[in-house]
Structure 1
Amino acid sequence: MFQPNMFESHHHHHLLDMSHKSPENQLDMLRDDDYESKSGTDIMEAPSGDDQDPNQRPNKKKRYHRHTQHQIQELESFFKECPHPDDKQRKELGRRLTLEPLQVKFWFQNKRTQMKAQHERHENSSLRNENEKLRMENIRYKEALTNATCPNCGGPAAIGEMSFDEQHLRIENARLREEIDRISGIAAKYVGKPMLSYPNLTQNGPPRSLDLPIASFSPQPVMVDDMFGTSSLLRSVSGPSEADKPVIIELAVAAMEELVRMAQSGEPLWVPSSDNSSETLNEDDYAQTFPRGIGPKQLGLKSEASRESAVVIMNHINLVEILMDVNQWSNVFSGIVSRAMTLEVLSTGVAGNYNGALQVMTAEYQVPSPLVPTREYYFVRYCKQHADGTWAVVDVSLDNLRPSAMSRSRRRPSGCLIQELPNGYSKVTWIEHVEVDDRAVHDIYRLVVNSGLAFGARRWVSTLDRQCERLASAMANNIPAGDVGVITTLEGRKSMLKLAERMVLSFCSGVGASTTHTWTTLSGSGADDVRVMTRKSVDDPGRPPGIVLSAATSFWIPVPPKRVFDFLRDENSRSEWDILSNGGLVQEMAHIANGRDPGNCVSLLRVNSANSSQGNMLILQESSNDSTGSYVIYAPVDIAAMNVVLSGGDPDYVALLPSGFAILPDGPGKHQGGRIPEVGDGGSLLTVAFQILVDSVPTAKLSLGSVATVNSLIKCTVERIKAAVAPDNP
């Protein structure tokens, strides 16, 4: 949950801490708050000692107590340690200083008010100074503009901006400046230091223009662990410098405005397709409507823009929290986000909620296949509640601030609007607008990437919708009728869902082309390549120790995704492709439904091996499906460990090595025709990935034999799947 900030008022602490108190104490505290919320002079005793205001005329009804110097010193030193003493501490202090507990209480109350006023005075004067600096800076800019001369003829330069309606621009600037000041104020208050530190303009140099790239990154490498214990050095990313922050705030405010307009505009900005099934962004209209922002499109990058909305089963507060907490966000979108980090929080928002929160992040987005390169972004995320109650969260790239070479992907204002609906639902409108270099995408994935199904708004919204259902199911306080089998307790159900969630995360982080991993290509031609990588697992209770070999391959089959998904998730057809189950009988022992689609579920399967020496094996499996893709992910689990989970024990100590399948549609729609089927005809792109423990000694060297075994295992599985679901196609 959100951590209350040290600068919040004491009222918030009371509200936040109430849950721990007994009912009687809660009543006491409410009474305390009634006192404290009355105006200062209502029932206060006089300000003590030298705090007394000489201009204040004494009120006959009040009794004044002048505390002794000793009492004041003691109270002051206690205040430094603890500005909010509780009843017990107040009594103890009163006893020691021969004061009534109520006198102690009022002294502390006055002191807190006084400190707050001081803090605010200080803050106001520093904001006034900043504003004065800004005014001077503006005057300088104006002078520079009026004195600008044309380099060719020496005459006055005609500056493009000037042709805008100046009055309109002035109003616009004033409004933006106001919002920027507000955020900076929030940032200063909750981060504890004033954020707006505009560089001092020296007399001898020209003022810095805002759109120049600023080379100011302190080279502090951040160590990021990849999914196994071995840490790989993510290219040294560091947070923004002080000088960048005002620029970032301005960019975030402009991006927020753009996002809202992009989400609410119709034609001519968005042009619907002839059958109204999709819409495309009118690039020319976009360029005219939003001249500000991150600048013109870079050469060699391609634009992708999409918009999608859906009603999801989650309230707006929880949605905002998921989007603003990097761990929750990357868990919920694990199929898309392969890695993410918050580099710096510029503002935590207003007391207890994310309105005004601002953070600089880096993230890597993936498609579940080693054949599609990931996309990395360095961006600011800004969250705001608008006047009509709608929340919005926007991302915009900060590559202009980074002195890197040409970036391969930039995020124009992208994100979502969240409207509160009755009964805990929310309407989410998602905008995804990026510029990328996608030349390295493999041919069989080109259509699905170009159509926006791979990285576009529809994939984000579909994933969110499915995950909201999954979360609602995990939080259910009774065992729904759709659940069957050996799960008898709510704790057991929750434990099993938690274990399945970890299995899915682990699978998703190990199947894409993330820059954290280095895949090696084994023999094969083109799309039939098998990519392999090895990782060492040491001291991780959630994984078996030793050397793990991951192998993945992606291929196209002319069969609709739904048919492939149903075949792979069905325990009755498992023996047709699963070589490791050795043709044994597979039974579903437990089943947890976690979505409207019957394909969204977690199962526990028992394999009664035909080969008795192998003994019985359990398999945990989660299958999930939406319009943009589906997964069947499974892992062999130890029977004893699984019994602990089923009785509600901690699932984090169950060692898992997930394998499985990711199934994507091969393009946006189905083409009819009697010709030979090809990519884009409504077929499937299937990624098969195995993880196998090849040696339980982490220091062992990997033998070529074990690589060959895994390679043949994966190829054989692919052949079996093709033969079973697409028998007519060689």
Structure 2
Amino acid sequence: MEFGIGGGGGSGSGGDHDASDSQRRKKRYHRHTANQIQRLESMFKECPHPDEKQRLQLSRELALAPRQIKFWFQNRRTQMKAQHERADNCALRAENDKIRCENIAIREALKNVICPSCGGPPVTEDSYFDEQKLRMENVQLKEELDRVSSVAAKYIGRPISQLPPVQPIHVSSLDLTMGSFGGPSGLSGGPSLDLDLLHGSSSTVPNLPFQQIVLSEMDKSLMTDIAANAMEELLRLLQTNDPLWLKSSTDSRDVLNLDNYERMFPRGRGHLKNPNIRIESSRESGVVIMNALALVDMFTDSNKWVELFPTIVSMAKTIEVITSGMMGSSHSGSLQLMYEELQVLSPLVPTREFYILRYCQQIEQGLWAIVNVSYDFPQFASQGRCHRFPSGCLIQDMPNGYSKVTWMEHVEIEDRTPIHPLYRDLIHSGMAFGADRWLASLQRMCERFACLMVSGGPARDLGGVIPSPDGKRSMMKLALRMVNSFCTSISTSNSHRWTTLSGMNDVGVRVKLHKSMDSGQPNGVVLNAATTFWLPVSPQNVFNFFRDERTRSQWDVLSNGNAVQEVAHIANGSHPGSCISVLRAFNTSQNNMLILQESCVDNSGSLVVYCPVDLPAINIAMSGEDPSYIPLLPSGFTISPDGRPDQVGGGDGASTSSNTHGNIGTRSSGSLITVAFQILVSSLPSAKLNMESVTTVNNLISTTVQQIKASLNCPSS
């Protein structure tokens, strides 16, 4: 779908208009001649900040507009500053690495030095590893680091308080320490796992790099220019079909013709010869049940952005508002610098980190554009380089509270660490972070919000249990918090480090610990455990298997084979599989314990998340009271297509299905399933995880996976 700007102008506006538009574009992308560049460079060496008189003189000599002269010098100064920053950042990183590695080597040597006679540490005063000498050496190293930092500050314009940390060296996949587990008579209960050795999340805000960024006025001026150019590029990309966009040969999705793109937007990508660098591009459009102004409001608020895309955005933060935009509620002209992490719901896929400029502009009445473009800070380069070229969406108002959204993603990825084989096809196909996943998630969440706003529902839909619309809304809010908590628990963010246990397959079971201090979770130490595996079954059939209460006893190890009954049901979208359920188990001793479950599905994948909740807490939510203090510790499954092409006769016949709303896996021959559990290890924040608990959770996940495979008639190997 092509959009016109300013009351006309699509692809069908006539040959004369196209010709004049082409001429304007040629003027807009003026290239300086070699003589002009040589004269400008010569002047820059003498005077990097020419005054107005000097700029006018250059303008007459070179036949350039004074504005062009001004922008050239601004860009050249910015380029020079960036070069200095990169060089000094490399020097600082090398110096920091050297210091950290020397300290690590000293600590490791201390562990291995023993006295030959008694087996203990040496006690001689003149030993090289004397504690006092170590302290003095650390002081000298810190002074040296401060000296180098002060040199870099001259170019960067601000002191460097903290450098990117060096990843810790792990001696084994799971570091165990001997300790008491509180057994009777002071007996040792076996090895325990120190919380400090598993880098888990906590209730405090992690020390993220965006907290160290200070912007100058020159930075803000440059950001404004970058955002304006990005918006212009986005609109041209969204308005043009051939020759910029091609249909993918594997799944008929829109992908960029990179050769034509380079000719239209030359950037000199010579570094693409690097075999680890990939370009992912995609475009998708669809109708969303939310008005355009509400969407713009949610897109320009980082907190609402996370709430709108909990399965994709693991973290977002507005670092600084560069411009707040026009007065009123349209946000037109607003520009923000943001930090965000994007995720695939599996511990096998690292998050993608971006510093982006988000710029919103109202194009005409009822039409908005929002562009995202990377603004890279070299000192915060992540382990895998991610750069977003102008990407974003057009939002067109439609009648009856609907909007048409056209979404585009265009990113450059450098895979410095190999992609796990299970996810290689999904990621390389562009489906994992592509426009179709963003749009499908947006459609599903907007349907959820629409269901939340409906004042009432049929009695049969509520099972006759939830007494009022307020009770329904309270239950939906509780379920949404449960899903968000589950997505956070699987995140591979820098503040959520996983440790691999030797496990049942090539993936193994990944575990991490965190101290829960949040009012929405049980207090104490929580163990997260997860694994991912592949099945030759369509995602839709796997989803149907998990959400069917009649088959729950086949995979739910904790149900002890007992059947469950749905006692309350809330529709959560147009697909019948998107719903919130309250389940009751039969033949159990815990009659006051129920299961809150939400299942949701769209074209990109599905979730089944559940959590045990006691009867009094469920009654609080059903009565319409605030459910934010009900403690939740959710577990569940994520299901996504494997990204492989359809295979005739393979799997369970999913390859013949049509691509309709909610019919996931139509471009896939199999499914990727992540199983994730959260277990309260102890209500004491200082507790340690003993080996028995590790073995228990490993067996729990292994048994669950084996039972799933057996129930779906898949080989267990």
Provide the TM-score with structure 2 as the length reference.
0.70
The residue number in structure 2 matching 1:52 is none
Q: Distance in 1 between matches of 2:289 and 2:644?
A: 26
The answer to whether the 8 Å contact 1:294/1:400 transfers is no
Q: Rate the CA distance shift 1:427–1:221 in 2: closer, same or farther, 3 A.
A: farther
Q: Rate the CA distance shift 1:718–1:704 in 2: closer, same or farther, 3 A.
A: same
The residue number in structure 2 matching 1:457 is 435
Q: Rate the CA distance shift 1:688–1:319 in 2: closer, same or farther, 3 A.
A: same
Q: Give the superposition deviation at 1:529.
A: 0.6
> Which AA in structure 1 matches 2:615?
I
2:610 to 625, 628, 634: 634
> Which AA in structure 2 matches 1:146?
R
Aligned counterparts, 1:348-387, within 5 A? 348-353=324-329, 354-387=331-364
Q: Distance in 2 between matches of 1:363 and 1:568?
A: 31
Matched, 1:621 2:597: yes
**Secondary structure at the counterpart of residue 316 of structure 2:** strand
The answer to whether the 8 Å contact 1:218/1:238 transfers is no
Matched, 1:565 2:543: yes
1:575 to 553, 563, 575: 553
Matched, 1:648 2:624: yes
The residue number in structure 2 matching 1:725 is 712
The answer to whether the 8 Å contact 2:536/2:651 transfers is no
Q: Give the superposition deviation at 1:328.
A: 0.6
The residue number in structure 1 matching 2:424 is 446
2:475 to 479, 496, 500: 496
**Secondary structure at the counterpart of residue 206 of structure 2:** strand
Aligned counterparts, 1:319-398, within 5 A? 319-353=295-329, 354-387=331-364, 389-398=366-375
Q: Give the superposition deviation at 1:702.
A: 1.4
The residue number in structure 2 matching 1:146 is 39
Q: Rate the CA distance shift 1:563–1:290 in 2: closer, same or farther, 3 A.
A: same
Q: Distance in 1 between matches of 2:364 and 2:387?
A: 30
The residue number in structure 2 matching 1:533 is 512
Aligned counterparts, 1:668-683, within 5 A? 669-672=645-648, 682-683=669-670
Q: Rate the CA distance shift 1:402–1:388 in 2: closer, same or farther, 3 A.
A: farther
> Which AA in structure 2 matches 1:383?
C
Matched, 1:419 2:419: no
Q: Distance in 2 between matches of 1:463 and 1:454?
A: 12
**Secondary structure at the counterpart of residue 573 of structure 1:** helix
Q: Distance in 2 between matches of 1:447 and 1:494?
A: 39
The answer to whether the 8 Å contact 2:338/2:358 transfers is yes
Q: Distance in 1 between matches of 2:303 and 2:200?
A: 14
Q: Rate the CA distance shift 1:706–1:675 in 2: closer, same or farther, 3 A.
A: closer
Residue ranges of structure 1 left out of the alignment (5+ in a row): 1-138, 151-165, 178-197
**Secondary structure at the counterpart of residue 484 of structure 1:** coil
Q: Distance in 2 between matches of 1:240 and 1:312?
A: 36
Q: Distance in 2 between matches of 1:361 and 1:280?
A: 26
> Which AA in structure 1 matches 2:302?
V
Matched, 1:512 2:491: yes
Structure 1, 207-216 or 233-242: larger mean CA deviation: 207-216
1:264 to 236, 239, 261: 239
Matched, 1:716 2:703: yes
The answer to whether the 8 Å contact 1:254/1:293 transfers is no
Q: Give the superposition deviation at 1:624.
A: 0.3
Q: Distance in 2 between matches of 1:698 and 1:259?
A: 50
> Which AA in structure 2 matches 1:373?
P
**Secondary structure at the counterpart of residue 688 of structure 2:** coil
**Secondary structure at the counterpart of residue 291 of structure 1:** coil
The residue number in structure 2 matching 1:700 is 687
- Deviation per CA, 1:74-98, whole angstroms, max 9, x where unpaired? xxxxxxxxxxxxxxxxxxxxxxxxx
Q: Distance in 2 between matches of 1:655 and 1:598?
A: 28
Structure 1, 565-574 or 268-277: larger mean CA deviation: 268-277
Q: Distance in 2 between matches of 1:147 and 1:234?
A: 40
Matched, 1:410 2:387: yes
Q: Distance in 1 between matches of 2:35 and 2:413?
A: 36
Q: Rate the CA distance shift 1:607–1:278 in 2: closer, same or farther, 3 A.
A: same
Q: Distance in 2 between matches of 1:670 and 1:405?
A: 35
The answer to whether the 8 Å contact 1:373/1:513 transfers is yes
- Deviation per CA, 1:50-74, whole angstroms, max 9, x where unpaired? xxxxxxxxxxxxxxxxxxxxxxxxx
Give the number of aligned pairs.
545
The answer to whether the 8 Å contact 1:630/1:663 transfers is yes
Q: Distance in 2 between matches of 1:407 and 1:630?
A: 27
Matched, 1:433 2:407: no
Q: Rate the CA distance shift 1:514–1:482 in 2: closer, same or farther, 3 A.
A: farther
The residue number in structure 2 matching 1:483 is 461
Residue ranges of structure 2 left out of the alignment (5+ in a row): 1-31, 44-61, 86-155, 164-198, 656-664
Q: Distance in 2 between matches of 1:541 and 1:675?
A: 44
The answer to whether the 8 Å contact 1:546/1:693 transfers is yes
Q: Give the superposition deviation at 1:709.
A: 0.7
Q: Give the superposition deviation at 1:170.
A: 6.9
Matched, 1:232 2:206: yes
- Deviation per CA, 1:521-541, whole angstroms, max 9, x where unpaired? 001265341000111112x22
- Deviation per CA, 1:300-334, whole angstroms, max 9, x where unpaired? 42110000111000000010011100011011111
2:230 to 242, 248, 255: 255
Q: Give the superposition deviation at 1:293.
A: 11
The answer to whether the 8 Å contact 1:607/1:616 transfers is no
Q: Rate the CA distance shift 1:173–1:328 in 2: closer, same or farther, 3 A.
A: farther
**Secondary structure at the counterpart of residue 328 of structure 2:** coil
1:600 to 578, 584, 589: 578
The answer to whether the 8 Å contact 1:549/1:693 transfers is yes
> Which AA in structure 2 matches 1:560?
S
**Secondary structure at the counterpart of residue 412 of structure 2:** strand
Q: Distance in 2 between matches of 1:348 and 1:332?
A: 22
Q: Give the superposition deviation at 1:636.
A: 0.6
The residue number in structure 1 matching 2:195 is none
Q: Give the superposition deviation at 1:349.
A: 1.1
The answer to whether the 8 Å contact 2:437/2:604 transfers is yes
Matched, 1:282 2:269: no
The answer to whether the 8 Å contact 1:254/1:292 transfers is no
Q: Rate the CA distance shift 1:565–1:144 in 2: closer, same or farther, 3 A.
A: closer
The answer to whether the 8 Å contact 1:359/1:380 transfers is yes
Q: Rate the CA distance shift 1:221–1:605 in 2: closer, same or farther, 3 A.
A: farther
Based on CA coordinates, which of the two structures has the bigger radius of gyration? 1
Provide the TM-score with structure 1 as the length reference.
0.69
Q: Distance in 2 between matches of 1:514 and 1:632?
A: 22
Q: Distance in 2 between matches of 1:688 and 1:405?
A: 27
Q: Rate the CA distance shift 1:322–1:675 in 2: closer, same or farther, 3 A.
A: closer
Q: Rate the CA distance shift 1:668–1:385 in 2: closer, same or farther, 3 A.
A: farther
The residue number in structure 2 matching 1:584 is 562
The residue number in structure 1 matching 2:444 is 466
**Secondary structure at the counterpart of residue 495 of structure 2:** coil
The answer to whether the 8 Å contact 1:521/1:530 transfers is yes
Q: Give the superposition deviation at 1:422.
A: 1.1
Q: Rate the CA distance shift 1:719–1:406 in 2: closer, same or farther, 3 A.
A: closer
The answer to whether the 8 Å contact 1:212/1:400 transfers is no
Q: Distance in 2 between matches of 1:296 and 1:170?
A: 33
The answer to whether the 8 Å contact 1:559/1:726 transfers is no
Q: Distance in 2 between matches of 1:323 and 1:298?
A: 35
Q: Distance in 2 between matches of 1:528 and 1:147?
A: 57
Q: Distance in 2 between matches of 1:657 and 1:584?
A: 21
Q: Rate the CA distance shift 1:477–1:722 in 2: closer, same or farther, 3 A.
A: same
Q: Distance in 1 between matches of 2:237 and 2:81?
A: 23
Q: Distance in 2 between matches of 1:371 and 1:437?
A: 17
Q: Distance in 1 between matches of 2:484 and 2:249?
A: 39
The answer to whether the 8 Å contact 2:503/2:698 transfers is no
Q: Give the superposition deviation at 1:700.
A: 1.2
